[in-house]
């Protein structure tokens, strides 16, 4: 099939959402262990949305809990919705409830995107946090988890948003009109420096957009997920059968 991503992307189709989450958990563990072996720490940016919930539960469950070097893991997020910290739409809250409250990751190694101020300020603070953490150099995540929206967005990179034209910013604030919600997002300039980027895509409502993003012509202003092309890292798409139904594999 015509492959927009060329040979750099691996596409794995799993039978159902459970198999998808188990596969993602296996990749998470492997990347965590090899990052700690090589560099002494594992830096991961989690995604929001519903799809990764089961992955988070699996990582906190008996099969995987002891396989991740949590004491050497640093947790970040790919994006955050600017809602109160106790709102169930908050990505950090979801990850805490399903994962972080149940694993021994040191609290000072959890680096949420805080939306306590105006979104633009919050984005600046997240940038400063990354700047300090990475000692002034550009952030290089060991793993970035991402989802895919039905409109082709990923993280909080939404179709036709002017921020998509910015190739240098590390973080940005966005306002999503349909949801009347501001968000803060990592930008492609950072995501694309990651050592490994994994998309999790589940369900038939994603089938047509997944096909367009992966196999359609390049149109990243309309399909921002196409902006994700790691410079030297790996890109893996994990899709369940329903999401992959229209792919010509």
Q: Which stretch binds ligand 6PG (CB under 6 A): 49-57, 58-66, 134-142, 211-219?
A: 49-57
Beta-bridged to residue 201, according to DSSP, are 239
- Give the SS3 label for residue 80: strand
- Find out whether 176 and 156 touch, Cβ atoms under 8 Å: yes
Among 31, 154, 172, 192, binds ligand 6PG (CB under 6 A): 154
Q: Is 69 in the site for ligand 6PG (CB under 6 A)?
A: no
Q: Kindly give, in sequence order, each residue whose CB lies less than 8 Å from that of residue 93, ignoring residues fewer than 6 positions away.
A: 85, 86, 87
Q: Is 152 in the site for ligand 6PG (CB under 6 A)?
A: no
Q: Is 21 in the site for ligand 6PG (CB under 6 A)?
A: no
- Find out whether 122 and 85 touch, Cβ atoms under 8 Å: no
- Find out whether 24 and 30 touch, Cβ atoms under 8 Å: no
In whole angstroms, give the CA distance from residue 158 to residue 155.
8
Q: Is 172 in the site for ligand 6PG (CB under 6 A)?
A: no
Among 119, 147, 152, 220, binds ligand 6PG (CB under 6 A): 147
| CB closer to ligand 6PG out of 130 and 201 | 201
State the nearest-atom distance from the C-beta of 24 to ligand 6PG, in Å: 12
| CB closer to ligand 6PG out of 35 and 185 | 185
Residue in the block written with tokens 């002034």: 136
Which residues would be at the binding site for ligand 6PG (CB under 6 A)? 47-51, 78-79, 81, 91, 147-149, 153-155
């Amino acid at each position: 099939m015509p492959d927009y991503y060329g040979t750099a992307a691996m596409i794995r189709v799993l039978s159902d959402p459970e198999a998808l989450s188990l596969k993602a958990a296996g990749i998470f563990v492997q990347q965590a262990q090899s990052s700690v072996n090589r560099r002494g720490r594992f830096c991961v940016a989690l995604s929001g949305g519903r799809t990764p919930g089961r992955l988070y539960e699996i990582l906190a469950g008996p099969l995987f809990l002891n396989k991740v070097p949590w004491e050497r893991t640093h947790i970040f997020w790919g994006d955050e919705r600017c809602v109160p910290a106790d709102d169930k739409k908050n990505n950090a809250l979801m990850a805490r409830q399903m994962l972080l409250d149940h694993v021994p990751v040191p609290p000072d190694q959890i680096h949420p995107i805080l939306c306590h101020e105006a979104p633009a300020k919050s984005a600046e603070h997240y940038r400063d946090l990354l700047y300090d953490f990475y000692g002034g150099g550009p952030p290089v995540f060991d793993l970035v988890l991402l989802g895919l929206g039905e409109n082709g967005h990923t993280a909080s990179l939404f179709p036709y948003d002017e921020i998509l034209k910015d190739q240098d910013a590390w973080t940005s604030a966005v306002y999503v009109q349909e949801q009347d919600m501001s968000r803060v997002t990592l930008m492609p300039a950072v995501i694309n420096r990651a050592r490994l980027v994994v998309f999790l895509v589940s369900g038939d409502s994603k089938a047509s957009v997944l096909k367009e993003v992966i196999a359609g012509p390049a149109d990243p202003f309309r399909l921002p997920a196409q902006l994700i092309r790691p410079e030297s890292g790996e890109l893996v798409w994990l899709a369940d059968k329903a999401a992959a139904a229209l792919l010509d594999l």
